[in-house]
Amino acid sequence: MGGLSSMINLGRIAKVVALLLFVLPWVTVSCVDQTLVSMTGVDLATGHIAMASNPLSSGTALPAEHGGDLFVIIGAVLILAGLVLSFVLKGSRGAMAAAACAALAAVSLAYTVLVRIPGAARADATTSAGGSGAGGPSPEQIAEMIKVNIQIGFYLCLAALIAAVLFNVMAMKGTTPAAAAAAPPGEPPPSA
């Protein structure tokens, strides 16, 4: 039973680490090598994102007016649910539920950071560029200048969630029926 509880505990630790990694930078959006936005996991979940001044205009920092990202919030809630379920449910059920929560959280966070944010950044660049004056960049050129860089905090969070899934799967395999470990003995050899 010691191997099972240690694997479940390692899965719990990995989930706590994933939650702590929400405070590190996850994404930066830049244009012409100037950072426009730097977002942590907490920023994405709460919607508190401040945009730096636009390099194409002479403005100052612009606060973003939107709520938190639903998929990031769902990811954080799934991580917490996996932690709670690992304490509430015992044995392979708890490990299975915790692994499923961690896997779904990883998918939810990856979808947001790898798909939604780059698409939204480029779409916002083309719509907010408006009509360009003579000789100015077109909205398509501005969209090409926008770079979305995924930061180390996101990759570490994803790695922690993958580790949590692996630890929980290993705990599930450790709780399978002992039939495989203690197979019934075969026919006894004939006695002479």
- pTM score over 0.75: yes
- 76-84: long-range pairs with CB below 8 Å, 24+: 76/19, 76/22, 76/41, 76/45, 76/105, 78/102, 78/104, 78/105, 78/108, 79/15, 79/18, 79/19, 79/105, 79/161, 80/19, 82/15, 82/164, 83/12, 83/15, 83/16
Residue 173: what pLDDT?
83
Residue 147: what pLDDT?
87
Q: Which domains does the chain have, with CATH numbers?
A: 2-128+138-174 (1.20.140.150)
Sign of the alpha-carbon dihedral angle for 168, 169, 174, 176: positive
pLDDT digits (tens, 9 = 90+) for 3-45: 668 899 999 999 999 999 999 999 998 888 788 888 999 999 9
Rounded CA-CA distance 9/152 in Å is 25
Mean pLDDT of 133-156: 81
pLDDT at 79 over 70: yes
Higher pLDDT, 100 or 63: 100
Q: What percent of the chain has pLDDT over 70?
A: 76
pLDDT at 59 over 50: no
Residue 163: what pLDDT?
97
